[in-house]
Amino acid sequence: MAQSTSNLVVPQAKSALQQMKMEAAQELGVQIPQDGYYGNMTSRETGSLGGYITKRLVQMAEQSLSGRQ
């Protein structure tokens, strides 16, 4: 299994981010590798996941900053 090299600023957010990744993959029709190795995925696939997750995180932050939940 591949080891992640990124360190989370808030380690408690790991499960929420993992759930967000799974939701993004399902919505975009991208298959997440079971072994955690992303080397066989295209740049388009991994980029679409990262972009989608970033977009969702920005939306959540904007809602939080505006006082809406």
Token pair in block for residue 31: 């298959």
Is residue 49, in this structure, part of any structural domain at all?
yes
In one-letter notation, the amino acid at residue 53 is I
pLDDT beneath 70, residues of the chain: 1-5, 68-69
In this prediction, residue 1 carries a pLDDT of 47
Token pair in block for residue 4: 């992640």
In this prediction, residue 67 carries a pLDDT of 83
To which H or E segment does residue 67 belong?
none
Is residue 6, in this structure, part of any structural domain at all?
no
Is residue 58, in this structure, part of any structural domain at all?
yes
Is residue 5, in this structure, part of any structural domain at all?
no
Is residue 51, in this structure, part of any structural domain at all?
yes
In this prediction, residue 8 carries a pLDDT of 79
| Residue range(s) defining the domain that contains residue 45 | 11-66
d(C-alpha 23, C-alpha 61), whole Å: 18
- In this prediction the pTM is 0.71
The H helix count followed by the E strand count for the chain is 2, 0
Tally of domains within the chain: 1
